[in-house]
Amino acid sequence: MIGENMNYKEIFDLILDENDFTVGGGSSSAIVGAMACGLMGMVANLSKGKDYGYSDKEYDDIIKELNETKANFLQGAVDDNKVYMLIVNAYKLPKSSEEEKEIRRKAIQNAGVEAAKVPLSNALLNKKVNEIGKKLLEKSNPACITDLQAGVDLSHIGINMGKSNVKANLPLIKDEKIVKNFEEEIKNL
């Protein structure tokens, strides 16, 4: 069942299971991003109807964007597990002949590229959420500041986790141009 038709709740359960080795930091970076969205959305909701700097429509727009991003994060948690399984399956390919070795090498590299794309996407989403949270810090209900700060901190952690997971997958990629592109992307985070 691992990696096939799982949902984010099952992924989360596997993150919490110290005996499971199929889900790790990549999916976790997406889950913390989703948590950040939830906290920030709650703060935006609790800031409506008062004069904290945004109109109710602006808070609603922020909430809508956070909800859409949260859905992307939850899918990102599932996708990260799927691309990890691509790596596992690529390493299981036979390597008896030169032809099999070449097929296996290509499969490992392709899996590595896919496995770097997902945490990069999650890191970019976390950066977007972090920026939303920082803007809300000055324009939200002060009674919720700790919730909002938790969301900002979680999204920052998600950025760093995503970057680390991209870096972890780069050794699987032998094409230097692709590696350089990923390195440039994470440098900008």
Question: 132 is in which domain, residue-wise?
Answer: 8-187
Confidence of residue 4 (pLDDT cuts 50, 70, 90): low
Q: What CATH number is associated with residue 84?
A: 1.20.120.680
**CB-count exposure of residue 66 (10 Å: 0-12, 13-18, 19+):** buried
Angle between the 98-137 and 25-47 helix axes, to the nearest 10 degrees? 20
Query: Residue 118 domain-assigned?
Result: yes
Residues with Cβ within 8 Å of residue 87, at least 6 apart in sequence: 108, 111, 112, 115, 169, 172
Query: Residue 180 domain-assigned?
Result: yes
Query: Residue 131 domain-assigned?
Result: yes
Q: Mean of the pLDDT values across residues 114-140?
A: 97
- Pick from 113, 108, 80: nearest CA to 93: 108
Query: Residue 48 domain-assigned?
Result: yes
Query: Residue 3 domain-assigned?
Result: no
Whether this model's pTM surpasses 0.75: yes
Query: Residue 2 domain-assigned?
Result: no
Q: Mean of the pLDDT values across residues 130-142?
A: 96
Query: Residue 1 domain-assigned?
Result: no
**CB-count exposure of residue 58 (10 Å: 0-12, 13-18, 19+):** middle
Residues with Cβ within 8 Å of residue 174, at least 6 apart in sequence: 105, 109
Query: Residue 55 domain-assigned?
Result: yes
Domain tally, the chain: 1
Higher-confidence residue: 107 or 5?
107
The per-residue pLDDT for 23 is 83
Ranked by mean pLDDT, the top range of 13-22, 77-86, 155-164 is 155-164
Sequence-ordered strand ranges (E) for 119-158: none
Confidence of residue 51 (pLDDT cuts 50, 70, 90): very high
The per-residue pLDDT for 162 is 96
pLDDT digits (tens, 9 = 90+) for 20-46: 888 888 899 999 999 999 999 999 999
For the chain, what percentages of helix, strand and coil (3-state, to nearest 5) are there? 80, 0, 20
C-alpha to C-alpha distance for 91 and 115, rounded to whole angstroms? 14
C-alpha to C-alpha distance for 32 and 69, rounded to whole angstroms? 12
Confidence of residue 1 (pLDDT cuts 50, 70, 90): very low
The per-residue pLDDT for 150 is 98
